C-alpha cells in the first residue's frame, strides 16, 4: 500500500492478534497514509468471527446443525421417519462440511443412521472434514461406515478413560484415532474435546 502511494485506507476491523497490536495501521500513518478505523466494524467482525474466535479464545468456532420438527422434536418416538430436513437443508449440511474442518456427532447418531459424515458436494474443491465421534463406551460397530472409511477420512473417537482396551485396539488398527477424555458432571468433557480439536 505504501509503495502504491495509496492516500487513504479504511479498516473495518483491527487485527485481534496481540502480536500485531495495531502496528500495521501505525506503519501506514507514519508513511503519510490517512487511516480510518471502525467503519462497518460490526459487519467486519461478523465476517471474520471464525478468525477472531481462533485468535482471542484459542478454541474452535462451532456451528450447530439440528433438524427439528415444528413441535420441537428431532425424531419420532420410534425413529421411524428418516428425514425431518428438506433436500435444500441437506445440501446446506454438505456446504457446512466443506467449509468447516471437523464434524462432531454422538454415538447415538452413528448407531441409528450409520452415517458416512463426508462432503458430497459435486465440486472439484470439495473436502471431507475430520470426523469426531463422542462414544464414551466405544459402542461404534466395526462394520459401520465410519470405521470402514477411516483409512480415507481422518476420524477421531472421544471416549471415556475406562473404555474397553480390546475394542480400542481394534479401532486403532482400522486407522481411527482414540482420545480418552476426563469426565465432567455431564459425561465426556466438551471443554476438553473442543480444546483437543482446536490443537
CATH number for the domain running over 87-198: 3.40.430.10
In whole angstroms, give the CA distance from residue 114 to residue 64: 20
Q: Which residues make beta-bridge pairs with 175?
A: none
Q: What is the pLDDT of residue 1?
A: 82
For residue 53, pLDDT over 70 is answered with yes
For residue 110, pLDDT over 70 is answered with yes
Q: What is the pLDDT of residue 5?
A: 84
Percent over 70 (pLDDT), the chain: 94
Q: Which residues contact 197 (CB under 8 A, 6 or more apart)?
A: 60, 102, 104, 130, 132, 156
pTM of this prediction?
0.80
For residue 81, pLDDT over 70 is answered with no
Give the helix ranges, DSSP H, for the chain: 23-30, 41-47, 49-57, 87-99, 107-113, 145-148, 165-173, 190-198
Instruction: List pLDDT tens digits, range 21-49.
Output: 778 889 999 999 999 988 898 999 999 99
Q: Residue-wise over 136-166: b if at least 16 C-beta within 10 A, else e?
A: bebbbeeebbbbebbeebebbbbbbeebeee
Residue 19, all three cell numbers: 502480536
Instruction: List pLDDT tens digits, range 125-152.
Output: 899 999 999 999 999 999 999 999 999 9
Main-chain phi, psi angles of 34, to 5 degrees: -75, 130
In whole angstroms, give the CA distance from residue 188 to residue 181: 6
Instruction: List pLDDT tens digits, range 156-167.
Output: 999 999 999 999
Domains of the chain, by residue range, sit at: 8-57, 87-198
What three-state secondary structure class fits 148?
A: helix
For residue 76, pLDDT over 70 is answered with no
pLDDT band, very low/low/confident/very high, at 72 (cuts 50, 70, 90): confident
Q: What is the pLDDT of residue 173?
A: 97
In whole angstroms, give the CA distance from residue 170 to residue 27: 57
Amino acid at each position: 500500500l505504501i509503495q502504491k502511494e495509496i492516500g487513504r485506507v479504511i479498516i473495518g476491523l483491527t487485527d485481534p492478534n496481540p502480536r500485531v497490536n495495531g502496528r500495521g495501521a501505525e506503519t501506514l500513518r507514519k508513511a503519510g497514509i490517512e487511516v480510518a478505523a471502525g467503519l462497518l466494524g460490526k459487519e467486519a467482525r461478523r465476517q471474520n468471527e471464525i478468525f477472531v474466535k481462533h485468535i482471542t479464545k484459542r478454541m474452535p468456532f462451532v456451528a450447530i446443525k439440528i433438524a427439528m420438527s415444528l413441535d420441537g422434536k428431532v425424531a419420532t418416538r420410534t425413529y421411524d421417519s428418516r428425514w425431518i430436513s428438506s433436500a435444500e437443508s441437506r445440501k446446506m449440511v454438505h456446504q457446512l462440511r466443506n467449509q468447516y474442518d471437523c464434524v462432531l456427532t454422538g454415538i447415538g447418531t452413528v448407531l441409528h443412521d450409520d452415517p458416512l459424515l463426508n462432503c458430497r458436494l459435486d465440486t472439484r474443491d470439495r473436502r471431507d472434514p475430520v470426523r469426531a465421534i463422542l462414544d464414551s463406551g466405544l459402542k461404534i460397530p466395526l462394520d459401520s461406515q465410519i470405521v470402514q472409511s477411516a483409512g480415507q477420512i481422518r476420524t477421531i473417537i472421544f471416549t471415556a478413560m475406562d473404555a474397553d482396551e480390546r475394542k480400542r485396539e481394534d479401532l486403532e488398527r482400522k486407522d481411527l484415532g482414540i482420545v480418552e477424555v476426563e469426565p465432567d458432571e455431564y459425561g465426556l468433557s466438551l471443554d476438553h474435546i473442543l480444546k483437543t480439536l482446536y490443537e
